[in-house]
Amino acid sequence: MRVLNSLFFPLFLFASTFSFQVKSENYSDFMPISELFNKWKTFYSKSGNNYLYLNNEISLSYNKFGIFKSLFLFGKSNKDSVYLLYVLNSKSELQKGNYNIDIELKGYEREGVFFKYKFSNFKFRINFFKVLNHQNGFLQGSVIATENNKYTFNGFTDYYFSKNYLYHLWDYKKSYGYGYGIDFNYKYAFQNGYIKFNINDIGKMYIYNSPHSIVYINSSNKTEKNGYITYNPIISGKETYENIVLNSITKYQIEANYKKIIIGSKKINDLIIPYIGYKEKMFTFKYDFRFKSFGLKYKKRNFLFSCYTNNIILNKASSLGFNFSYYHSF
């Protein structure tokens, strides 16, 4: 027993750290977040590009190693496109007129392991993961509504997917994939402040047997008995299974703090979210100019909680998120 104690006692001289984190970032220009996976009842009209951005992750780590599961979605479309999506999903009345369709969608669900390391002012996290689901493609076209709830549709799509959300002709084979990603963080502290840079998700995904549609979609529509819209698209083109390499969407953030004032900006693809903040002891207050969200962060020792929204009535909020993390050293 004394021999065993002499062998293993040095291991207890090294501190061990357990950490847990749940983060959820959700932004939309055209709908409440609460209605994203439920019935879409509320439409927020915005001219120009309309964005949808979801970034959610749960992670658990012990010392430098951990496991995670994440869901990411980035959508970009014009005003006409989101209006038509709203009409189809909510079964609202489509007004007469000409509409242009332009939708870009990228998303993936992943789970895996990571290794994190800190050196001086630098932090790194290297992720290795399995790709559970993926979406990557675009849809372009036009809709001509000749009278209320009757229209013709013409479109073209180039679309990689694990599940086809445009149409369903048959059951597709299950694709699978793997990938890696690197997160990089740098923080330089000086008297009365700091500057920090975050670059997250520099990486690639290797997808095998991904369904790929390059098709033209044409439909003549009719009105159901209850007055709602239905359509049966005519599809021409080709569908194949392919092995592909997808780039992860890298997220950038820069932030500067001097005394109690904070200014910063996030960038996801071509979506830019600038913000300002005010820090008072353990509390930080933030406001972003892009989605007009108010945020609050509380941090004390090994505990952090933050949240933000652009509407105190949460089921009406189109910007909604939180971050909870806790670590314990022993």
Distance (Å, whole) CA 134 – CA 162: 6
Q: Evaluate the CA torsion angle 6, 9, 14, 17 in order and state its sign.
A: positive
- Which residues fall within 8 angstroms of residue 293, CB to CB, at 6 or more apart? 287, 308, 309, 310, 319
Distance (Å, whole) CA 205 – CA 28: 26
Task: Please indicate, yes or no, if residue 126 is contained in any of the structural domains.
Answer: yes
Task: Please indicate, yes or no, if residue 285 is contained in any of the structural domains.
Answer: no
Mapping DSSP to helix (H, G, I), strand (E, B) and coil, where does residue 11 land?
A: helix
Task: Please indicate, yes or no, if residue 244 is contained in any of the structural domains.
Answer: yes
Task: Please indicate, yes or no, if residue 144 is contained in any of the structural domains.
Answer: yes
Mapping DSSP to helix (H, G, I), strand (E, B) and coil, where does residue 93 land?
A: coil
Contact predicate 260/278, CB 8 Å: yes
Task: Please indicate, yes or no, if residue 4 is contained in any of the structural domains.
Answer: no
Q: What's the pTM?
A: 0.89
Task: Please indicate, yes or no, if residue 254 is contained in any of the structural domains.
Answer: no
The residue assigned the tokens 């972003």 is 288
H or E segment and range at residue 113: strand 97-119
Helix ranges, the chain (H): 2-8, 79-90
Domain assignment of residue 73, given as a range: 17-249+309-329
Give the count of domains, the chain: 1
Residue 220: its pLDDT value, please? 58
Residue 233: its pLDDT value, please? 66
Exposure of 6 by Cβ count < 10 A (0-12 exposed, 13-18 middle, 19+ buried)? exposed
Chain centroid, CA 93 distance in Å = 30
How does pLDDT run along the chain (330 residues), one tens digit per residue? 454 444 444 444 556 899 999 999 999 999 999 998 888 888 987 888 999 999 999 999 999 999 999 999 999 999 999 999 898 888 888 888 899 999 999 999 999 999 999 999 999 999 999 999 999 999 999 998 887 667 788 899 999 999 888 777 677 888 999 999 999 999 999 999 999 999 999 999 999 999 999 998 887 555 455 555 555 667 788 889 999 999 999 999 999 999 999 999 999 999 999 999 999 989 999 999 999 999 999 999 899 999 999 999 999 999 999 999 998 888
Task: Please indicate, yes or no, if residue 191 is contained in any of the structural domains.
Answer: yes
